[in-house]
Every structure is written in C-alpha cells, then in structure tokens.
Amino acid sequence: MGLLDSLIAGAVQGAFRQLDTSALPSILSQILGRTDLGGFGGLLDALRRGGLDREVGSWLGQGSNMDVSPDRLRHALGDRELGQMSQQAGLSIEDLLAVLAQHLPQTIDGLSPNGRLETDPLEINPDDPGGADTGGGSLADQAGLDDLDRLR
C-alpha cells in the first residue's frame, strides 16, 4: 500500500471514529441496505442466530445495554456479512467491528424506544436492492474520497 493509499484509508477511518453519533443510524442503515442483511432487522436477526440473543434483548428492552466485543460480533455475523459491510463502509473488518462494538448497543437502543425496533432511519425501497438513492459506491466514495484516486 502506497503512502497516498494509507492517507486515504486513515482519513476514512478517522471520519468514522469521529462520527456524530446521531448520524450513525442513518449511515448504518445505508450500509446494511446494500448487504444481504437488508437493514437493522436483518442485522439483529443475524446477531441473535449468532448467539447474541441476550445482548440484542438488552438493547431493545428497557434498562441498561449489554456491551458486546468485536470478537463476539465477528463470530455472530461471520465473514460474508462482515465482508459486505466492510466493503460498503470503506473500512477494514477490524475497524468496522470496533465501530459496531462501540456504537451498536446505543444505536439500537435509540431505535427501539418502545422495546421493539422502529423502522430503519432510511426507508429502503424493496424494489431497489441498492437501498436508498445515495449515488452508489462505498461511503468513502460518496464522501468524495474517490476523487483522490486521480492524484495517484
């Protein structure tokens, strides 16, 4: 990886780490809408099937949210889903897992004020498998970081 590639990757990763947490549900919805999971409901189903039923229940229910480690998320989601999410986010799987472990419990808690998941922050059109019209490409591309490729 060249110096410019490293700088670009660092910029994308830094942007995700410094996200305004209020924007995270919308960004995650875009990422999930472009994967086989389809949305937050699909993500929670996959996490439950992967052994995180208690954690998911705590995020949806009233009371405190249980933490989840990146390793447990990796085990629950598997390589296929993580690969799709990582590609859409423009992050390495490790960085994606770190962001999810840090923010997913509070994000799901915020999307489930009545103990159940409300609709996804972005309504995904079932006739459009690419999800909401966001211009295509990874979120890094959408943020204009794809323009940096011309400098290489």
Task: Assign residue 11 the CATH number of its domain.
Answer: 1.10.10.690
* The model's pTM: 0.68
Task: For residue 4, give both structure tokens.
Answer: 């410019």
Distance of CA 18 to the CA centre of its chain: 15
Q: Count structural domains, the chain.
A: 1
pLDDT, tens digit, 9 for 90 and up, residues 98-135: 999 999 999 999 999 888 887 655 444 444 444 444 44
List, in sequence order, the alpha helices (H) in 18-63: 24-33, 40-49, 53-60
20, 8, 29: which is closest to 108 by C-alpha? 29
Q: Does a structural domain hold residue 113?
A: yes
136, 147, 15: which is closest to 87 by C-alpha? 136
Tell me which residue range forms the domain holding 45: 3-126+137-143
